[in-house]
Chain A
Amino acid sequence: MKFQRVKAVAKKEFLHVIRDWRSLIMGLAIPMLLLFMFGYALTLDVDQVPLMVWDQSNTPASRDVVSSFTGSRYFTLAGYTDKYREIERAIDERRALVALVIPPDFARRLDAGRQARVQALVDGSDSNTATIALGYAEFIVAGYSGRVALERLGRTSGAALTQPITVEPRVWFNADMLSRNAIVPGLIAVIMMVIAALLTSLTVAREWETGTMEQLISTPLTGPELIIGKLVPYFCIGIVDLILSLLVGRYVFQVPFRGDRPLLLAMSILFLIVALALGMLISIVGKSQFVASQFAMVATLLPAFLLSGFVFPIENMPFLLRIFTHIIPARYFVTILRGIYLKGVGLSVLWGEALFLVVFGGVVLTVAMWRFRKKIT
Chain B
Amino acid sequence: MCSQKNREHSPYFSHGDLDNTVTLKELVKRFGDFTAVNRISLDVKKGEIFGFLGPNGAGKSTTIRMLCGILRPSGGSGTVAGFDIVTDAEQIKEHIGYMSQKFSLYEDLTVEENIDFYSGIYKIPAEKKQPRKEWVIAMAGLAEHRASLTATLSGGWKQRLALGCAILHEPPIIFLDEPTSGVDPISRRNFWDLIYRLAADGITVFVTTHYMDEAEYCDRLGFIYRGELIALGTPEELKTRHMAEEIVEVLCERPQDAMEIIEELPGIRHAALFGRGLHVVAERAVEAIPAITARLATAGFQAPQPERIVPSLEDVFVSLIETKDREAAPQQEFER
Contact = CB atoms under 8 A, between A and B. Distances in A.
Contacts of A16: 106, 108-109
A100 to B, nearest CB: 62
Given A8-B117, A214-B102, A19 B122 contact: no
Interface stretch (A143-151, A163-171, A217-225, A286-294): A217-225
B122 A12 contact: no
A15 B120 CA distance: 15
Given A4-B123, A12-B113, A12-B117, A220 B94 contact: yes
Contacts of A214: 65, 70, 100, 102, 104
Given A8-B121, A214-B70, A376-B65, A19 B93 contact: no
A16 B108 CA distance: 7
A215 B98 contact: yes
A19 B99 CA distance: 25
B229 interface: no
A374 B107 CA distance: 22
A215 B122 CA distance: 12
Given A5-B120, A9-B121, A215-B162, 17 more contacts: A2-B123, A4-B123, A8-B116, A8-B118, A11-B116, A15-B113, A211-B104, A214-B70, A214-B100, A214-B104, A215-B98, A220-B93, A220-B121, A374-B90, A375-B72, A376-B70, A376-B71
B69 interface: yes
A374 B70 contact: yes
Interface in B64-109: 65, 68-72, 89-90, 93-94, 96, 98-100, 102-109
Contacts of A217: 70
A93 interface: no
Nearest to A16: B108
Given A211-B104, A214-B102, A375-B70, A11 B121 contact: no
Interface string B144-170: 000000000000000000100110000
A359 B108 CA distance: 37
A215 B162 CA distance: 10
12 contacts: A8-B121, A9-B121, A11-B120, A12-B106, A16-B108, A212-B104, A213-B104, A214-B65, A218-B93, A221-B121, A375-B72, A376-B71
B121 A19 contact: no
A12 B70 contact: no
A5 B117 contact: no
Question: How would you classify the secondary structure of chain A's contact residues: helix, strand, loop or mixed?
Answer: helix
Given A12-B113, A15-B109, A376-B70, A219 B100 contact: no
Contacts of A375: 70-72
Interface of B: 65, 68-72, 89-90, 93-94, 96, 98-100, 102-109, 113, 116-123, 162, 165-166
Contacts of A220: 90, 93-94, 121-123
Nearest to B126: A4
A210 B104 CA distance: 7
Contact of A219 (B108, B109, B113, B118): B118
Contacts of B94: 220
Interface of A: 2, 4-5, 7-9, 11-12, 15-16, 19-20, 210-221, 374-376
Nearest to A6: B120
A9 to B, nearest CB: 8
Contacts of B106: 12, 15-16, 212
B140 to A, nearest CB: 16
B71 A5 contact: no
B123 A5 contact: yes
B291 to A, nearest CB: 53
Contacts of B118: 8, 219
Given A5-B120, A217-B70, A375-B72, A212 B105 contact: yes
- Residue from A9, A215, A374 having most chain B Cβ neighbours under 10 A: A215
B99 to A, nearest CB: 8
A332 B130 CA distance: 49
A5 B166 CA distance: 16
Contact of B122 (A11, A212, A219): A219
Contacts of B89: 374
B104 A219 contact: no
A12 B110 CA distance: 11
Contacts of A216: 121
Nearest to A215: B104
A331 B295 CA distance: 90
A211 B117 CA distance: 16
A7 B116 CA distance: 11
Given A215-B98, A376-B65, A8 B120 contact: yes
Contacts of B72: 375
Given A12-B113, A218-B100, A19 B108 contact: yes
Nearest to B149: A19
B34 to A, nearest CB: 15
Contact of B117 (A11, A213, A374): A11
A375 B89 CA distance: 10
Given A2-B123, A4-B123, A218 B108 contact: no
A15 B150 CA distance: 13
B102 A211 contact: yes
Nearest to A19: B108
Contacts of B109: 12, 15-16, 19
Contacts of B90: 220, 374
Considering the complex of A and B, which 4 residue pairs feature the smallest CB-CB distances, nearest first? A8-B120, A218-B98, A215-B104, A211-B102
Nearest to B122: A219
B285 to A, nearest CB: 47
B33 to A, nearest CB: 17
Nearest to A217: B70
A211 B113 CA distance: 18
B295 to A, nearest CB: 53
A219 B121 contact: yes
A133 to B, nearest CB: 51
A19 B149 CA distance: 11
B114 to A, nearest CB: 9
A126 to B, nearest CB: 44
